[in-house]
Amino acid sequence: MSDTNKGGSRAPGGMGPGMGGPRRGPGMGGPGGMMMGPGGKAKDFKGTMRRLVSYIGRYKGAVMAVWAIALVSTAFSIAGPKILGKATTKLFEGVMGKISGAGEVDFAYIGGILAMVLGLYLVSALFSYIQGWIMSGVSVKITYRFRKDISEKINRMPLRYFDGTNHGEVLSRITNDVDVVNQTLNQSLTQLITSAATVIGVLVMMFSISLKLTLVALVIMPLSMGFVTFIVKKSQKLFKAQQEYLGKVNSHVEEMYGGHAVMKAFNGEKRSVEAFERHNKELYGTAWKSQFLSGLMMPMMNFIGNLGYVAISILGGYLAVQKAITIGDIQAFIQYLRSFTQPMGQLANISNVLQQTAAAAERVFEFLEEEEERPDTASPADADLVRGHIEFKDVHFGYSPEKTIIKDFSAFADRGHKIAIVGPTGAGKTTMVKLLMRFYDLDSGQILIDGIDSTSFTRKDLRRCFGMVLQETWLYNGTIMENIRYGRPGASDAEVVEAAKMAHADHFIRAQPSGYETVINEEANNISQGQKQLLTIARAIIANPKMLILDEATSSVDTRTEILIQKAMDSLMANRTSFIIAHRLSTIKNADLILVMKDGDIVEQGRHEELLAKCGFYAEIYNSQFSADVNTAECESA
């Protein structure tokens, strides 16, 4: 009898028994349960859910089908215990009959019932398999669409957005938030239906078996539920704290490991270890409590549940003696009682899960609704005809409306000329480059390329005209060969080597352990900053652009190499317009035009000699770099 009980209690929903070993599932608050995502609740729950449903869109039919199948599967498995109870009753009657000599055990009948129950459970399992299969497919497709939409959106976002947003946040949208939605679609949505159906179905079955037993059960149940809710609330709080401290420990380790050299240099080991121990101790405290509590829950629930069984068994036995109930029905009843707790727990948790889903989906939708870049013109100008005549006309620009950075920039760059932009840090030199590449749109004014407004080109075409090398180098995890080839994916190995030679990078590349096949690691810390710059210059050279922009591209390279690169560039850029931003003015002496910037304005412009002769701002900067220069004296005497 007790054996049948154990076997049967696994029935409804095809899930584990409510009171079995430790179960990881929603409502438990322990590890494996749904954690609170960042940001808590959705601002507009209903609206977001409606949007999510419309996002599910053409999969609505499949979701409906899944629900229908889940309902059938649940119904089939709920029927199990009641029918199985008939077999128990028959067996009991047969045994009793045999004892009193009045009859035999009707094994044929019992066998028939067992076969039927087996059939029911098989069908139920098959249906739940089909349902899981369809739902996984749907949720993965929807998640795929979400990620695709986000990724495409990122490409349409203005750079302005990323200036003001944490990278981690954007990353979290693509991974965590979409994952939460996926999980809900995949599990919670069907769980909602099966749990509700199980709770209702089991209640109906219980009532149909015995009103009295059900009433007793319903008095005991809230006790257990109340206890679970209490523990879940408590442990969820502790669990959140545990996550927080775990995060602190992790970020401390990451920070210290990332800045290992600096930490050592400042003798920070002791402080670092102390901080680690502090965080770790806090983590220990909360982790201990939360795990103890969630570990406590199962035995306590078992205890309360067992009290219930005792009550039901006593009352059931009394009723059976009075012939008000059959043995099989008592067995079925206890099975139903056992299968009640889990779906109740899931239902209790579902509002929580839906809230988290709404919050996650809302963040994703908000991101998808962010203002985008102004779309490219419908009839773009032909960038292939660009010759490299560039004019800045009354350019005004600020990263934010409150603060204008470029106040009134007008300049003219002739085709094939070498234009140098100089000025103190923060003058707006890099900003000008970004505007030229149209990373940002102007507040007013125009940038004309061969007399055509730069907004008349598509961004893609426009950027293809320029090769750009920045002070911050960007290399990815790959070989040196691949990194240089990034400039022109079709380039041959020989062309890559040629470009590297022009950038004066060939020599150091060959000195690497695997030459051009040396893999640059993630932080690119296996080569020096200056070497990285040489690689990015080679990358720009191989792209063979019409115009070139070097923004302090050689700042980490020694002066001799810098001059060599400048010479190579000069020949490379002979017929192309180039913009050079350099700190060391010695390298731009031969520029066709020098624009001297200060606080977003051009304060002087002209050739090197003209500017020196002016004894203005340029002469001041230049002389500060060559303090012993004769020119200083000239200016003072002037």
Ligand X SMILES: Nc1ncnc2c1ncn2[C@@H]1O[C@H](COP(=O)(O)OP(=O)(O)O)[C@@H](O)[C@H]1O
Please choose, out of 158-166, 230-238, 251-259, 427-435, the segment that lies near Mg ion by the rule CB under 5 A.
427-435
User: Exposed/middle/buried for 559, CB within 10 Å: 0-12, 13-18, 19+?
Assistant: exposed
Residue 82's binding partner out of Mg ion, ligand X, none, with CB under 5 to 8 Å set by partner kind: none
What is the enclosing helix (H) or strand (E) of 229? helix 211-258
Q: Which of 430, 458, 555, 632 binds Mg ion (CB under 5 A)?
A: 430
- Closer residue to ligand X (CB): 163 or 269: 163
Is 324 in contact with 145 (CB distance < 8 Å)?
Answer: no
For the bound state, the minimum distance from the C-beta of residue 354 to ligand X, rounded and expressed in Å, comes to: 38
For the bound state, the minimum distance from the C-beta of residue 139 to ligand X, rounded and expressed in Å, comes to: 38
Residue 405's binding partner out of Mg ion, ligand X, none, with CB under 5 to 8 Å set by partner kind: ligand X
List the x/- string, 277-306, binding to ligand X by CB under 6 A. ------------------------------
Q: For the chain, give me the number of helices (H) and strands (E)?
A: 23, 12
Residues 507-536, interacting with ligand X (CB under 6 A): none
Residue 388's binding partner out of ligand X, Mg ion, none, with CB under 5 to 8 Å set by partner kind: none
Q: Which of 205, 206, 230 is nearest to 217 (CA)?
A: 206
- Closer residue to ligand X (CB): 46 or 403: 403
If one asks whether residue 313 binds ligand X (CB under 6 A), the answer comes out as no
Q: Which of 56, 405, 480, 612 binds ligand X (CB under 6 A)?
A: 405
CA separation for the pair 357, 40 (Å, rounded): 10
Q: Which of 306, 297, 343 is nearest to 15 (CA)?
A: 343
If one asks whether residue 276 binds ligand X (CB under 6 A), the answer comes out as no
Is 451 in contact with 389 (CB distance < 8 Å)?
Answer: yes
List the x/- string, 410-429, binding to ligand X by CB under 6 A. -------------x-xxxxx
Residue 467's binding partner out of ligand X, Mg ion, none, with CB under 5 to 8 Å set by partner kind: none
CA separation for the pair 222, 220 (Å, rounded): 6
Non-local (6+) Cβ contacts of 74 within 8 A are 12, 13, 124, 193, 194, 197, 198, 201
Structure tokens, 504:
């004066």
Residue 316's binding partner out of Mg ion, ligand X, none, with CB under 5 to 8 Å set by partner kind: none
For the bound state, the minimum distance from the C-beta of residue 428 to ligand X, rounded and expressed in Å, comes to: 4
If one asks whether residue 430 binds ligand X (CB under 6 A), the answer comes out as yes
Q: Which of 198, 431, 531, 533 binds ligand X (CB under 6 A)?
A: 431
For the bound state, the minimum distance from the C-beta of residue 441 to ligand X, rounded and expressed in Å, comes to: 14
Is 415 in contact with 388 (CB distance < 8 Å)?
Answer: yes
φ, ψ of residue 447 in degrees (nearest 5)? -115, 120
- Closer residue to ligand X (CB): 406 or 491: 406
Please choose, out of 237-245, 261-269, 422-430, 440-448, the segment that lies near Mg ion by the rule CB under 5 A.
422-430
Chain CA centroid to CA 407, Å: 38
For the bound state, the minimum distance from the C-beta of residue 429 to Mg ion, rounded and expressed in Å, comes to: 5
- Closer residue to Mg ion (CB): 243 or 430: 430
- Closer residue to ligand X (CB): 405 or 548: 405
Q: Which of 276, 399, 412, 486 binds ligand X (CB under 6 A)?
A: 399
Residue 419's binding partner out of ligand X, Mg ion, none, with CB under 5 to 8 Å set by partner kind: none
Q: Apex CA 35: angle with CA 34 and CA 37, to 5°?
A: 120
Distances from the Cα of 573 to the Cα of 373, 541, 593, angstroms: 32, 10, 15
Residue 163's binding partner out of Mg ion, ligand X, none, with CB under 5 to 8 Å set by partner kind: ligand X
φ, ψ of residue 52 in degrees (nearest 5)? -65, -40
Residue whose token pair is 């380790």: 253
For the bound state, the minimum distance from the C-beta of residue 430 to ligand X, rounded and expressed in Å, comes to: 3
- Closer residue to Mg ion (CB): 70 or 553: 553
CA separation for the pair 185, 181 (Å, rounded): 6
CA separation for the pair 573, 553 (Å, rounded): 15
What is the enclosing helix (H) or strand (E) of 448? strand 444-449
Residue 439's binding partner out of Mg ion, ligand X, none, with CB under 5 to 8 Å set by partner kind: none
Residue whose token pair is 């950027």: 463
Residue 427's binding partner out of Mg ion, ligand X, none, with CB under 5 to 8 Å set by partner kind: ligand X
Residue whose token pair is 């115009």: 547
CA separation for the pair 154, 322 (Å, rounded): 73
Residue 45's binding partner out of Mg ion, ligand X, none, with CB under 5 to 8 Å set by partner kind: none
For the bound state, the minimum distance from the C-beta of residue 551 to Mg ion, rounded and expressed in Å, comes to: 6
In DSSP terms, 419 is beta-bridged to 579, 593
Residue 399's binding partner out of Mg ion, ligand X, none, with CB under 5 to 8 Å set by partner kind: ligand X
For the bound state, the minimum distance from the C-beta of residue 604 to ligand X, rounded and expressed in Å, comes to: 15
Residues 134-193, interacting with ligand X (CB under 6 A): 163
# chain residues binding ligand X, by CB under 6 A? 11
Is 393 in contact with 447 (CB distance < 8 Å)?
Answer: yes
For the bound state, the minimum distance from the C-beta of residue 581 to ligand X, rounded and expressed in Å, comes to: 7
Distances from the Cα of 239 to the Cα of 35, 128, 232, 487, angstroms: 8, 32, 10, 49
- Closer residue to Mg ion (CB): 355 or 430: 430
For the bound state, the minimum distance from the C-beta of residue 424 to ligand X, rounded and expressed in Å, comes to: 7
> Is residue 625 helix, strand or coil?
helix
What's the 3-state SS for 335-388?
A: HHHHCCHHHHHHHHHHHHHHHHHHHHHHHHHHHHHCCCCCCCCCCCCCHHHCCC
Please choose, out of 201-209, 232-240, 430-438, 453-461, the segment that lies near Mg ion by the rule CB under 5 A.
430-438
Write out the residues near ligand X by the rule CB under 6 A: 163, 399, 405, 423, 425-431
Write out the residues near Mg ion by the rule CB under 5 A: 430
